[in-house]
Amino acid sequence: MDWIKSASIEMQNTVFTESDGDLWPCAWGDDDFLYTANGDGKGFDLQAPWCDIVMNRISGEIGSLHGERLSGEDGVGGLFADPVEYNRKPTGIVCAGGQLYLAVQNLNKSPVGGFDDVPCATICHSTDKGRSWEFDQQMPMFRDYQFTTIFFLDYGKDNCLSPDGYIYAYGMDNNWRASFSKRVEDPMCLYLARVKPEQIMDRDAWSFFCGMKDGVPGFTSDISLRKPVLEDTRKVTITPPPDQKDRIMESTVISQGSVVYNQPLNRYLYSSWTENTFEFYEAPAPWGPFRLFLSKDFGLYPWTEARHGGYATVIPSKFISPDGKTMYVVSCTFVGGVKQYGFYLRKLTVEI
């Protein structure tokens, strides 16, 4: 495989919608809608009540996007940790066989150490395209800080590009990004699991990448035997917002984002971020090896409308150009002097 020779990304969001919220994991449905869940907002209905999770669908293409809020009830995901200290966050979504599966984590929200540890996560299932959800309400699917930030490999429309019919999911331990208060260890590894769509709600059916042998990837049902598909121990020094200056000094680079299969280029792209940068990796297969091809620094705070980064970087497969060289990245921010808090995108271009 020829590695990406050069890449560039816009310094600011350039595609906007009438929306409110953050995170925005995306799945391209069999009906051609883009399904996306936001955290902490109103979604695509600015007159609707605020919710910690809202389910939406988007029609159209870049330049003519139209969104609709589908649901924002307590029935989307479970809160298994202490509700005084934790709330729900959507981290990944996939469509397969016309049905939706949503990954929801419990993220710390306490004033000290907020957003700094993730003890558990679960998977929710919708047969009516996001209007209602079912899940095990007694216990989470993943716990003990293992594989608790989950985002699915985006294999295109209705998972149709999956070569073996599996749903693949990437996961991080401990937190969704660096733990600024050090409540838990910073995530430095990205792990991989797979499961058949009809078995995704059965935790025992999941298997985890455990390394390569004779050029063949191995998978095991024992999560303790898993191996990372990417380990990056780099730390980026950052300048935090004034009200957090005593908490944040530097940030590791493995964070909640997305992995998308770019079919025209026949490669897998992981989009990550830190407080001040975007980090992009490429690989020839879901299990790697991953190589960093772009680290984009948006500079120190204060940011402006013309220069800002963001968090929870997502590349929807629906908006990849026919030649694969142009993509769009969704991200949000509300710190550093600028508020970009909705389903907003910017262009990413690459050359091979």
Determine the pLDDT at residue 243. Answer: 61
Whole-model pTM: value is: 0.96
Share of the chain above pLDDT 90, in %: 88
Buried b (16+ CB within 10 A) or exposed e, 220-257: eeebeebbbbbebeeebebebbeeeeeebeebbbbbbb
Contacts of 289 (CB under 8 A, 6+ apart): 283
Pairing of strands 258-262, 149-154: parallel
Q: What is the pLDDT of residues 59-71, one digit of tens each?
A: 999 999 999 999 9
pLDDT band at 2 (very low <50, low <70, confident <90, very high): confident
Is the confidence at residue 247, as pLDDT, over 80?
no
Q: What is the pLDDT of residues 137-169, one digit of tens each?
A: 999 999 999 999 999 999 999 999 999 999 999
CA nearest neighbour of 133 among 70, 43, 197 = 70
Instruction: Give dist(CA 292, CA 173) in Å, integer.
Output: 21
CA nearest neighbour of 301 among 248, 240, 251, 249 = 240
Instruction: Give dist(CA 351, CA 323) in Å, integer.
Output: 10
Q: How many residues does the chain have?
A: 352
CA nearest neighbour of 176 among 166, 168, 184 = 184
Instruction: Give dist(CA 73, CA 136) in Å, integer.
Output: 16
